[in-house]
Chains A and B, each alone.
Chain A
Amino acid sequence: MAETIQSTTNSKTSGAAGQAEGNIVARFFRATEIDTRMLGMIGALLIIWVGFHILTGGLFLTPRNLWNLSVQTASVAVMATGMVLVIVTRNIDLSVGSILGFTGMIMGVLQARLLPELFGFNHPAIWIITLAGGIAIGALIGTLQGSIIAFLGVPSFIVTLGGLLIWRGATWFVTSGQTVAPMDANFRLMGGGTEGSIGATWSWVVGILACLAIIAAIINARRQRKRFSFPRRPVWAEYVLIALGCIVVLGAVYIANNYYWPIAIARRYAEANNIAWPEGGLLISQGIANPVLIAIAVGIVMTFIATRLRFGRYVFAIGGNPEAAELAGIKTRWVTVKIFALMGMLCAIAAAISTARLNAATNAQGELDELYTIAAAVIGGTSLAGGMGSIAGAMLGALVMQSLQSGMVLLGIDSPFQRIVVGMVLVTAVWLDTVYRSRAK
């Protein structure tokens, strides 16, 4: 489906490109069928990165900062994938930050207070039960909110605005406002950090597998097109796409592997394993962080749901024309309930990542995350008018938002001013998008 949506923009660009036949750049984009909108976002991201790199005097584009950036983005990126489906059906979910807080607190209490009494501390079953419990609670909350929206006809804005207050209050209520810490040792691995990363070797394995997947996907797509004699990309364009994809993936792995364990931790590790401390210090690569892997996995699953399953098609059809979808016999209300249930589950996954990272569940966890999540989806090209959006775009949007914040922290900009900038960027991004869309028509 996302492909279909994007093909609007593709067809427009190819139409425009047709006029500038000789232009090499235009020909390149037409041949590779790269979505120009997505490209614009990547361009904006690069400008932000390079800009901050220069402004901070070389602090931004370092393995350490990029690695941290990836970990910080994970939680909002996970929620943004669900927010795309919510917004595509012309709804909104303002309660995601509070659901994150509530499910995070429930998971905190489960793993730090209830389950250790049954299993003992750091038992391997604890983190699994905790995560499953959190996801179940998230799904329940989402189902409840979705049912009220779909069957009682209360606008999603109001239901989730109520949810914002209710679940934040409930978060406080669970422990009377106390912070729960520390988290279970295994659970904590979901949050990243030295322990919660997969190291150099496995990072390369993941990177190479991803490259193989890119190649397989491109070959498969070409074969399908050939079978039904659809227009195909020129062969060189396929090679360019494969090369670009692999460079990005392997480059990311290379960067992650160039961020090493802090010296103190490496020294402790060396002592524990009887490794002699070498002259230049022990360089142990962090590799890709677990939360980043979780976010990427969520992104792949959500893209699959949105583009390959009936459910996803219904989501987009409802967004495009709710009446037509209803008349076509789609159970639009159930689809709405399922979307919100899915959103609740994703909030719980995001909550697991952020509580694990913080090593605590607090009653302020996830505050304002609803706004960052919505902003990420909207910056990522999800139209508030419904019917348009892509999961990958929203995740990229989350990265843009986090890059801005992270860069401003590095610059030492005060937090109130950070919010002002983020707010202005959001409005500007949507304005630019509106201009783009009206041109595209």
Chain B
Amino acid sequence: MTEQTTPLVEMKNISISFGGIHAVENASVDLFPGEVVALLGHNGAGKSTLIKILSGAYKRDNGDIMINGETADIRNPRDAKKYGIETIYQTLAVADNVDAAANLYLGRELQTKWGTLDDVAMEASAREVMGRLNPNFKRFKEPVKALSGGQRQSVAIARAILFDARILIMDEPTAALGPQETAQVGDLIKQLKREGIGIFLISHDIHDVFDLADRVFVMKNGKVVGHARTEDVTKDEVLGMIILGKVPPGATPGPGAMKVV
């Protein structure tokens, strides 16, 4: 990966607390175009919360978000989408009772010149996108509820890439999937990366993401333990960061690093 001077996304000194508990404290992460950054940590380490601030689901208490070096004002999911930030949530966040095409375009429906829904156009492009992602997908007319976990996942991913995302956030993208579907998602991530999209992968399981990621950020108790290029550290060392907060020599320590006495 070529180093660039301006990161695609830079989150600086982000803090948020819920009822006096610091879910995220003074966290900084960055992401370059065409880069895959894994955000690792235990459940409750604050990684999902941090990323939900970027996707507009939560409002930060402190800190700045820069997109392409410029301060971005992200207050809600609509704002985030304007900056080309698309999110695939752990819970998939699909409306179960409507079909795939309706989900792909949810919130951004195509309309005919009379202001009615252009279902035909939406379904046509849904078929095109889904054909690229998951050629076996044929159940366009059924509510998403009737689909398997993998199919629902491909609907969620298709929704994110349909609108030319520049920044893709994937929260536990393979948690609900079987091995074959996991491999598919892996291929997809590589493909999107080649297209120059920056991707945040969030996971509590290092094995899911280590081979896909260019860099890892590790969080613990709401703070960033440190970050490292995946070629400079081993899986075991990263595991040490996740569990103990111990920063290996190949990594850059953050505010949450274990104090070496």
Contact = CB atoms under 8 A, between A and B. Distances in A.
A227 B121 CA distance: 11
Given A329-B78, A329-B81, A387-B97, A323 B91 contact: yes
B174 to A, nearest CB: 20
Interface in B167-195: none
B57 A4 contact: no
A330 B107 CA distance: 5
B177 to A, nearest CB: 19
Given A313-B98, A321-B93, 19 more contacts: A1-B98, A1-B102, A4-B143, A5-B97, A7-B143, A8-B142, A11-B146, A227-B120, A228-B120, A309-B117, A317-B95, A317-B106, A324-B92, A324-B106, A325-B107, A328-B93, A329-B78, A330-B106, A387-B95
Nearest to A308: B116
A4 B102 contact: yes
Interface in A278-320: 304, 308-310, 313-314, 316-320
A327 interface: yes
Contacts of A7: 99, 141-143
B94 interface: yes
Task: Categorize the interface residue count of chain B.
Answer: 20 to 34
Interface in B107-151: 107-109, 111, 115-117, 120, 123-124, 141-143, 145-146
Contact of A313 (B87, B92, B109, B123): B109
Contacts, number: 96
B7 interface: no
A201 interface: no
A327 B99 CA distance: 17
B98 A316 contact: yes
Contacts of B91: 323-324
B146 to A, nearest CB: 7
Nearest to A318: B95
B76 A329 contact: yes
11 contacts: A4-B99, A4-B141, A7-B141, A8-B143, A318-B95, A319-B97, A320-B98, A321-B93, A324-B95, A327-B57, A330-B106
B123 A228 contact: yes
B124 A228 contact: yes
A58 to B, nearest CB: 44
Contacts of A329: 76-78, 81, 107-108
Contacts of B116: 304, 308-309
B96 interface: yes
A417 interface: no
Contacts of A227: 120
B77 A327 contact: yes
Given A313-B98, A321-B93, A327 B115 contact: no
Give 6 nearest A-B pairs by CB, closest first.
A320-B97, A328-B107, A320-B95, A324-B93, A329-B107, A387-B97
